[in-house]
Amino acid sequence: MRALLRRVSKASVEVENRPVGSIEVGILVYLGIHEADSSNDIEWLINKILGIRIFEDDNGKMNLSLGKDNGVLVVSQFTLFGNLKKGFRPSFHRAAKPKEARKVYDDFIASFLKTCPGKVESGEFGKEMSVSATDYGPVTIWLDSQSKDY
């Protein structure tokens, strides 16, 4: 499972010109699901996102994790598993197939809703989405559950 985290002052997602999710200060999560991902990957990634200290304390240091006043917007993005080893057209063969990915994505969202102290919003899996975000910092973090050593 891969996630690209962006600390934002606001973010929103639309499907067919219809708003489906939005947050104010928080984390925009682009989520890619690998063909071998399991509940262990979900748990590891959620713990990392909930614990990551990228919000400033009273001294201006990035020392705070998500709180009740922060939101999380999750957007599925299989292209995080794009591979360019053979030319210029990305291959996505390591991304989970849509049916399996949807189940993992739904499980991820359900688990996040149970554990996140703030607002959790999401895009619509498998849909063409328009995402708007205003980065705050900017702070961008890459997480990969297959590389748990960082």
Give residue 112's pLDDT.
94
Determine the longest span between alpha carbons in the chain, in angstroms: 49
Q: What is the 3-state secondary structure (H, E, C) of 106-128?
A: HHHHHHHHHHCCCEEEECCCCCC
Give residue 93's pLDDT.
87
Q: What amino acid positions are annotated as catalytic residues?
A: 79
Give the whole-angstrom CA distance, residue 48 versus residue 52. Answer: 6
What is the DSSP track for the chain?
Answer: -EEEEEEEEEEEEEETTEEEEEESSEEEEEEE-BTT--HHHHHHHHHHHHH---EE-TTS-EEE---TT-EEEEEE-GGGG-B-TTSSS-B-TTBPPHHHHHHHHHHHHHHHHHH-SSEEEE--TTS-EEEEEEEEEEEEEEEETT-TT-
Give the whole-angstrom CA distance, residue 66 versus residue 35. Answer: 29
Give residue 149's pLDDT.
62
| Ramachandran assignment for 54, one of left (phi > 0), alpha (psi -120 to 50 degrees), beta (any other) | alpha
pLDDT in tens, the chain (150 residues): 999 999 999 999 999 999 999 999 999 999 999 999 999 999 999 999 999 999 999 999 999 999 999 999 999 999 999 889 888 988 898 899 999 999 999 999 999 999 999 999 999 999 999 999 999 999 999 999 988 765
**What are the structural domains of the chain?**
2-144 (3.50.80.10)
116: CB partners within 8 A, 6+ apart: 50, 66, 72
